[in-house]
Amino acid sequence: MPGKHHFVSYSPHEALDFVLQLTDALETGSPPQRVWLDKRNLRPGNWDMQITEAIRTCESLLFIMTHDSVQDNSVFIRCPGAGR
């Protein structure tokens, strides 16, 4: 995804419906915002590389906090450098 975007990190088990609504609202708002969401932007191939690049090049990272997302086994917590 060229240009600046907002990366959304969330737990799909608890927040998928909310995140889809949030993404739609951001993308159709005034002014419209570019959003990188795994369910819409991941392509076949190396998912880790795509996610790392999307985080590296994002304007902001929106961390949707849920009970599941702050547990020790969370992908965000386990991903080296994700919290930087």
22: tokens are 């949030």
Q: Looking at the predicted structure, is the pLDDT value of residue 81 above 80?
A: no
Which amino acid is it at 16?
L
Give the mean pLDDT of 6-28: 94
**How do residues 20-71 score in pLDDT, each as one tens digit?**
999 999 999 999 999 999 999 999 999 999 999 999 999 999 999 888 777 7
What pTM value is reported for the model? 0.76
Please state, in angstroms and rounded to a whole number, the distance separating the CA atoms of residues 64 and 8.
Answer: 7
Please state, in angstroms and rounded to a whole number, the distance separating the CA atoms of residues 38 and 40.
Answer: 5
Q: Looking at the predicted structure, is the pLDDT value of residue 84 above 50?
A: no
Helix (H, G, I), strand (E, B) or coil at 9: strand
Please state, in angstroms and rounded to a whole number, the distance separating the CA atoms of residues 20 and 11.
Answer: 12
pLDDT of 1 reads 43
Domain positions in the chain: 15-78
